[in-house]
Structure 1
């Protein structure tokens, strides 16, 4: 014959009808959003942020943003999550990274796209022009006959990757026409128009 109380004691560590103890229980992991700039994602940063605390109210956290972090990545703050029970450890807090829209840079994964303004004669004749990137100014060569909308690839100049190859940077050529011409500029353009056989409606 089975003793019910002995069975409860062996299965649950307590007598039937009495308090049951399961030992220390780890606290729950929690998650919050962290919005950063393209520059902070590129270079990394260390900052203090204020978030709702798991136990109520708000709490200040010190966060290290890794260099080269990408959209949707999670930053783990160990032991900053929910409280444990019966002496159990706290859970972890995970910050899900969101990279804010930027007026110049468009980020997809580790690749960065930026517009490259060039003058009509630079596009036609070819030129090496400066381009501002998150890592500083670089020189970009536009070959002769570069059309508007052409993407020039700068290998390895995109978002850094601590565990592998960095992304690429794409310079999107944008031909910019002078808003106002001098008399000499107008004269030269009129000369060009007279001698040129190029028809943009039939090009390509």
Structure 2
């Protein structure tokens, strides 16, 4: 059974027994960056790396993990034998047996020699130790940026600066500053992601880098707001255009201009849908013209008299009538 005076594998990796496989992997990667003999300045880096790899080898394997958990929970059910040369060892380089209906059944766990076999042959006798550690892809990272709506209609390049949390070669947390030129494809709707291959966290032991996922948003302005691929575009109109239902020219977000016929007696907040004139996604969005009636400000005496005549013409109009 695991020696009570030594750290168990969970303690070595700094995880709990209920940690997920992803949490265990993340803890291993962090420690590997800190104690890998090729980069670590720690005096006991090689020894620590061996312990870390043995712990991860067991806890990352579902079958081995169950056996190890069983041994932790039932120490009284295991018998220890001195691990002589050539013997099959358990988790502590001793023969590992489990009681099964009164019979002692040796498990398939191969002990230190099998566990450390992936680091190269020999732990003495003048043989050189070689590390053939498993390669791991770096962590994928995520970021969010804001872009101009014009890029959604035409695509283009946007230069961005990102502050990305990561770990350095010694396993210490730090913030990495990245300056990237991101190609935003035409038709990208609000909230969609762009994947940049190999721009994520660096891999371990020569593994490939992770990817960087950038989520793009089009921030609302006084002119528009975006919902997925739909665009809500504010259009100012005059009181007479609204009342009489006149045709107006509207300059759309994509740079084009169209003639729009307003319904008679239009009101502020009313929406007119231009089908598939939103973001040209695979499923095109719609463009909603949101009407806003703007009252002219009277400056001259003549303009004030015009408002007075207007009021007399609509003397029966009660805007605050409940």
TM-score tier, shorter chain, comes to: 0.7 to 0.9
Structure 1 counterpart of 2:251: 132
Q: Cα gap change, 1:147/1:103 in structure 2, threshold over 3 Å: closer, same or farther?
A: closer
| Structure 2 counterpart of 1:49 | 160
> Structure 1 stretch 56-65 or stretch 78-87: which is displaced more?
56-65
Q: CA offsets, 1:120-147, max 9 Å, x none? A: 2111211111222211222221022222
Mapped to 2, the partners of 1:66 and 1:110 lie a distance apart of: 14
d(CA) in 1 for partners of 2:220, 2:267: 27
| SS of 1:13 mapped into structure 2 | helix
Write 1 or 2 for the structure with the bigger share of helix.
Answer: 2
- Unaligned 5+ segments in structure 1 are none
Please give the TM-score of this superposition, normalised by the length of structure 1.
0.79
Q: How many angstroms apart in 2 are the aligned matches of 1:175 and 1:52?
A: 43
After superposition, the C-alpha distances for 1:49-108 in whole angstroms (9 at most, x for unaligned) are 333475565333231112222333221110111111222111111112232232311112
Q: Which of 129, 136, 139 pairs up with 1:25?
A: 136
Between the aligned partners of 1:109 and 1:99, the Cα distance in structure 2 is 10
- For 2:304 and 2:160, locate their aligned partners in 1 and report how far apart those are by CA, in whole Å: 56
**Does 2:190 align with 1:71?**
yes
The partner residue of 1:173 within 274, 283, 291 is 291
Larger strand percent: 1
8 Å Cα contact 1:26-1:90 kept in structure 2: yes
Partner of 2:228: 109
- The residue matched to 1:42 in structure 2 has which SS? helix
Residue 2 (structure 1) shift = 6.2
Instruction: Kindly tell me the number of residue pairs found equivalent between the two proteins.
Output: 202
Question: Contact 1:12–1:21 (CA<8 Å) still a contact in 2?
Answer: no
Change (3 A) 1:143 1:183: farther
Q: Which of 155, 168, 188 is matched with 2:275 structurally?
A: 155
Larger Rg belongs to: 2
Conserved 8 A contact 2:274-2:287: yes
C-alpha RMSD of matched pairs (Å): 3.3
